[in-house]
Amino acid sequence: MRARYRDPEVTSLRLRSPTIDLQLAHRSVRAFLDAPVSDDQLTSIIAAAQSASTSSNLQAWSVIAVRDDARRSRLADLAGGQEFVRCAPLILVWLADIGRATRLAAGRRSVLGASDYLETTILGFVDATLAAQNAVVAAESLGLGATFVGAFRNHPDQIAAELALPDQVFATFGLAVGSPDPTESAGIKPRLPQSVVVHHETYDAKRDAGVDDYDGRLRSYNEEHSRTAGWIDAVLARLADRQSLKGRDELRRHLGGQGLPSR
């Protein structure tokens, strides 16, 4: 709790469990030892992912496990040259997958009209995301580390081509998985205080008042890891304009081309 909040008033939890302890210890891992993720580890991670809740039990997601060196390297290039994507022994690409249901319908000479709507696209994103986060917790429980790769959405057409994605299948994000290199300079990154993110009964924008203190806490965390920015500057830069989306402003066009017009 000390590391998670860096708030002198929040130092411990009254109620704990091994699962909560594991979740509180999460950190993204971007440096990996030269060791493979075994098939048994992968099977356990995917079983955990499949145990997540899924909208109407549609299970509207799939995942591609990429281990091939050359393909990981091409994926790293498409993700803005992020080295951890090249170096991780395993990349899991989480797919919103409406295509499976549509293919089932086609085989029965039926049509899925609802697949054209934004709701169905969101459903696929949500299902894929819940599964992936379960996978992260499972991987961490096995002593592995992971980092999401949202940057795959910077070049959605090329990612779809690289992974041979069929109609109505979209690469929501990747997940780099491997054994953490203990020399990596990273720790538990502090989060906003609960007083900012938890509202009671109705939304209260005055809760933003706690953000300034948090900005200083994140700045000091970053300084310990050779970075400088506080939180507010980072948020404003990340959402500044169309350029800050790094190609993701093209997603609606891409989704339409993939058979997900998302009306």
Ligand X SMILES: Cc1cc2nc3c(=O)[nH]c(=O)nc-3n(C[C@H](O)[C@H](O)[C@H](O)COP(=O)(O)O)c2cc1C
Q: In what order do the strands lie in the sheet with 145-149?
A: 61-66, 90-97, 169-178, 145-149
Q: Examine residue 148 and tell whether it contacts ligand X (CB under 6 A).
A: yes
Among 27, 71, 207, 252, binds ligand X (CB under 6 A): 27
Place of tokens 């704990």: 16
Q: Are 104 and 117 spatial neighbours (Cβ–Cβ below 8 Å)?
A: no
Tokens of 141: 């429980």
Chain centre distance of CA 148: 4
Please tell me the total number of residues recorded for the chain in this structure: 263
Stretch that binds ligand X, among 11-19, 26-34, 193-201, 239-247 (CB under 6 A): 26-34
Q: How far apart are CA 215 and CA 74, in angstroms?
A: 36
Contact code string over 224-263 relative to ligand X, x by CB under 6 A: ----------------------------------------
Closer to ligand X by CB, 36 or 150: give it.
150
Report which secondary-structure segment, H or E, holds 200. none
Q: Examine residue 54 and tell whether it contacts ligand X (CB under 6 A).
A: no
Residue 29: CB atoms within 10 A of its CB come to 22
The residues, ordered by sequence, that sit 6+ positions from 19 with a Cβ below 8 Å of its Cβ are 137
Q: Examine residue 149 and tell whether it contacts ligand X (CB under 6 A).
A: yes
Contact code string over 91-120 relative to ligand X, x by CB under 6 A: ------------------------------
Q: How far is the CB of 178 from ligand X (least distance, A)?
A: 14
Q: How far is the CB of 119 from ligand X (least distance, A)?
A: 20
Among 61, 94, 173, 214, binds ligand X (CB under 6 A): 173
Q: Are 155 and 9 spatial neighbours (Cβ–Cβ below 8 Å)?
A: no
Closer to ligand X by CB, 28 or 54: give it.
28
Q: Examine residue 195 and tell whether it contacts ligand X (CB under 6 A).
A: no
Residues that bind ligand X (CB under 6 A): 26-28, 30, 82, 147-151, 173, 189
